[in-house]
Amino acid sequence: MPDSAPQQLLHLVIGGELLDLEHNTFKNLDDVEIVGLYPNYASAHVAWRAKAQSTVDNAQMRYFIVHLHRLLDPNQEPAR
């Protein structure tokens, strides 16, 4: 990888309605929303916050940030 290319730490934002508040099990997988794929945590967090705040009236709705870069390269050291 060229030294000038920025490091990509891919993050996925997804969400949907949960069965209950005790578990992260979606009520209907067909209704899970893929908000987007982001090149870093900061931009994923902005998208996550916007979606979470837009559904604040539904206590069963949850959005998550998935650290795809950790799944793609599990031996990668976390940034500090």
Residue 39 CA to residue 58 CA, distance in Å, equals: 29
Instruction: With CA atoms as reference, report the closest residue to 12 among 30, 38, 45.
Output: 38
SS3 content of the chain, % helix, strand, coil (to 5): 30, 25, 45
The yes-or-no verdict on residue 28 having pLDDT over 70 is yes
More reliable by pLDDT, 79 or 20: 20
Q: Where are the beta strands (DSSP E) in the chain?
A: 11-17, 33-38, 61-66
Residue 20 CA to residue 60 CA, distance in Å, equals: 7
pLDDT at residue 11 in the model: 95
**Structural domains of the chain, ranges and CATH numbers in brackets:** 1-21+29-72 (3.30.70.2400)
pTM reported for the whole predicted model:
0.81
